[in-house]
């Protein structure tokens, strides 16, 4: 899966570092003598490892996509400023009062730095070093080259705005095309729990019937231990947790996007265990 997807030379490591910090918390919850069922205990431990990374990753993702969506409009407005005779520096200063969503603080900061006398190359280079979006980094680097080498012509800025917009549309189309496959992953997580319950039920029910029969009650027929059932259910929960990372890699091209899918799948799995237990009477510890 990783070999089939396009690679970006920049990877934001902050969610992965936070995930590494949360792993000891999950281990601690697992080792504590909490008076709850074993599958629920493991679920809480797994959720604790991905809850904080999920929140942080969602915030970073909204920030990144907000920058990428607003960047073509900003570059297009700079080109419009060049059409009326403003230099690139003047165009950026004139756009400081316009709302660009997530890009607005960066535009205002660039306008302030230009008003202090910094060159546009240093201003944009500073902006590029602060953002975490690879597309934004590329567009910022191209802006520096357009100004320094190309003279900052209207055509150069217009073509760069079109290029950035097409890249964003391509990424959006790719995510939309892969979204149905992520849904399949969720269905597989639910079916994994249900199939485990069904397998245990069909293995234990004949033995239970024979054990209560007056003809076979004294044969000492084996029964399914509740501890064994718990281990099987925990295995399905852990598999769902792992599959969540695969869903993130499949849907967005980044394993960090799988934190939210792992959280959702573990939650769905533990809920499915208790809901299925209402219809299939199986004991687990």
**pLDDT higher than threshold 90 for residue 20:** yes
Residues 6+ positions from 105 with CB-CB distance below 8 Å? none
The structure tokens listed for 166 are 């097409």
**pLDDT higher than threshold 80 for residue 49:** yes
Question: In whole angstroms, what is the distance from residue 40 CA to residue 48 CA?
Answer: 12
Tell me if residue 130 falls in helix, strand or coil.
helix
Question: In whole angstroms, what is the distance from residue 37 CA to residue 191 CA?
Answer: 21
Return the pLDDT at 124: 85
Q: Supply the DSSP symbol for 36.
A: S
Radius of gyration (C-alpha) of the chain in whole angstroms: 27
pTM value?
Answer: 0.80
Q: Which position has the higher pLDDT, 128 or 228? A: 128
Nearest to 237, CA basis, from 83, 100, 42, 51: 42
Return the pLDDT at 153: 76
- Identity of the highest mean pLDDT range in 88-97, 140-149, 190-199: 88-97
Return the pLDDT at 283: 67
Q: Which position has the higher pLDDT, 199 or 205? A: 199
Residue with tokens 């080498």: 149
Percent of the chain with pLDDT over 90: 16
Return the pLDDT at 211: 47
Given a contact cutoff of 8 angstroms between Cβ atoms, the answer to whether 92 and 157 are in contact is no
Return the pLDDT at 44: 94
pLDDT in tens, 206-235: 555 444 555 444 544 455 677 777 888 888
Nearest to 136, CA basis, from 86, 64, 37: 64
For 185-201, b/e burial (b = at least 16 CB within 10 A) is bbebbbebbbebbeebb
Question: In whole angstroms, what is the distance from residue 234 CA to residue 60 CA?
Answer: 31
**Least confident window among 27-36, 122-131, 192-201, 267-276:** 192-201
């Amino acid at each position: 899966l990783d070999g089939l997807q396009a690679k970006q030379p920049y990877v934001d490591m902050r969610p992965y570092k936070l995930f590494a910090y949360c792993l000891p918390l999950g281990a601690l919850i697992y080792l504590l003598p909490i008076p709850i069922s074993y599958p629920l205990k493991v679920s809480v431990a797994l959720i604790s490892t991905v809850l904080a990374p999920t929140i942080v990753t969602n915030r970073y993702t909204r920030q990144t996509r907000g920058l990428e969506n607003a960047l073509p409009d900003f570059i297009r407005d700079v080109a419009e400023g060049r059409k009326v005779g403003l230099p690139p520096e003047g165009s950026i200063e004139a756009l400081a009062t316009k709302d660009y969503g997530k890009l607005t603080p960066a535009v205002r900061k660039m306008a302030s730095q230009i008003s202090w006398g910094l060159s546009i190359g240093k201003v944009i280079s500073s902006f590029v070093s602060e953002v975490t979006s690879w597309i934004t980094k590329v567009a910022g680097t191209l802006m520096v080259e357009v100004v320094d080498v190309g003279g900052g012509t209207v055509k150069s800025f217009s073509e760069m705005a079109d290029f950035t917009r097409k890249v964003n549309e391509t990424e959006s189309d790719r995510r939309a095309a892969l979204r149905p496959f992520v849904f399949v992953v969720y269905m597989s997580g639910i079916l994994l729990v249900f199939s485990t319950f069904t397998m245990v039920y069909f293995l234990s029910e004949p033995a239970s019937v024979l054990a209560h029969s007056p003809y076979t009650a004294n044969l000492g027929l084996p029964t399914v231990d509740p501890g064994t059932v718990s281990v099987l259910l925990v295995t399905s929960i852990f598999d769902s947790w792992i599959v969540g990372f695969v869903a993130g890699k499949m849907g967005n091209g980044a394993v960090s996007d799988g934190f939210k899918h792992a959280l959702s799948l573990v939650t769905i799995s533990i809920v499915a265990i208790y809901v299925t237990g209402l219809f299939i009477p199986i004991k687990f510890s």
